[in-house]
Amino acid sequence: MRVIAGSARGTRLAPVPRGVRPTLDRVRESLFNSLGQFFDGGGVLDLYAGTGALGIEALSRGSERAVFVERDRWARSVILENLRRTGLQDRGEVIGGEVETVLGRLEGRGESFNLIFADPPYRIAAAEVGGILYRLRSLLAPGGRVVIESGEAPVAGGEKGVTRRYGGTFVTILGRSELTMIVAVCPGSFDPVTTGHLDIIRRASKIFDHVVVAVGSNIRKHSRMPPVERARLIEKVTSDMDNVSVEVMEGLLVDFAREQGARVIVKGLRAVSDFESEFEQAQLNRTMFPELETVFIMASAEHSFLSSSAVREIASLGGEVRGLVPDGILETVRQIYSGPDGNI
Distance spanning both ends of the chain, measured CA to CA: 61
State the DSSP H helix or E strand holding residue 173, giving kind and residue range, or none if neither. Answer: strand 169-175
Backbone angles phi, psi at 319, to 5 degrees: -75, 170
DSSP for residue 322? B
Let me know: does 48 contact 120? Beta carbons within 8 Å: yes
CA 81, 82, 85, 87 dihedral sign is negative
- Cβ-count burial of 221 within 10 angstroms (0-12 exposed, 13-18 middle, 19+ buried)? exposed
Is 197 catalytic? The answer is: yes
| Active-site choice (2, 9, 221, 322) | 221
| Active-site choice (21, 71, 164, 270) | 270
Is 267 catalytic? The answer is: no
Identity at 256, one-letter amino acid code: F
Angle at 16 between CA 33 and CA 106, to 5 degrees: 65
| Active-site choice (197, 230, 267, 312) | 197
Is 60 catalytic? The answer is: no
| Active-site choice (60, 189, 308, 338) | 308
Identity at 297, one-letter amino acid code: I
Is 270 catalytic? The answer is: yes
Beta bridge partners of 172: 148, 163
How far apart CA 212 and CA 219 sit, in angstroms, is: 20
Which of 142, 116, 122, 119 lies closest to 35 in space, CA to CA?
Answer: 116
Let me know: does 213 contact 244? Beta carbons within 8 Å: yes
Angle at 135 between CA 289 and CA 97, to 5 degrees: 120
- The total of other beta-carbon atoms located within 10 Å of residue 292's CB is 19
- The total of other beta-carbon atoms located within 10 Å of residue 249's CB is 23
Query: Hey, which residues are catalytic here?
Result: 197, 221, 270, 308
